Amino acid sequence: MPQFITGARPLTGDASRLALGPAGWRHTEVVRITVRVRPGSARPGVGGRYDGALVVRVRERAADGRATAAALAEVAAAFGVRRHAVTLVAGASSRTK
């Protein structure tokens, strides 16, 4: 099943020294979610469900990977993590990722 990974960051060096998040919690786990991208939306945002996937609405059209890049940014913003902490696992050219 295509999924995004949020908060995924390879551990280097001493794995016991983990960075604290904004609320003081530790980033120790990887979260995988399936999303459904709706390109060309008038109201971008994250919310709703489609066939068990989280719906991500973006303004960008589905051309040259722009909608996928915008979806990654929307997911990062919704979960309060940096953009580079969200990774696409599969579904680069599909609406379901």
The pLDDT, as a whole number, for residue 1 is 44
- Please give the structure tokens belonging to residue 72: 């990654």
The single residue listed with the structure tokens 């960051």 is: 9
Pick one of 3.30.1200.10, 3.40.47.10, 3.40.50.2000, 3.30.300.160 as the CATH number of 1-6+33-97: 3.30.1200.10
| Res 13 pLDDT > 80 | no
- pLDDT tens column, 48-83: 888 888 899 999 998 888 999 999 999 989 888 888
Question: 43 versus 30: which is more confidently predicted?
Answer: 43
* Predicted TM-score (pTM) of this structure: 0.69
pLDDT higher than threshold 60 for residue 36: yes
Cα–Cα distance for residue pair 18/8, rounded to 1 Å? 12
Please report where in the chains the tokens 């280097």 appear, as a residue: 12
Residue 96 is given by DSSP the state B
Per-residue model confidence (pLDDT) at position 62: 87
- Proportion of the chain above pLDDT 70, given as a percent: 70
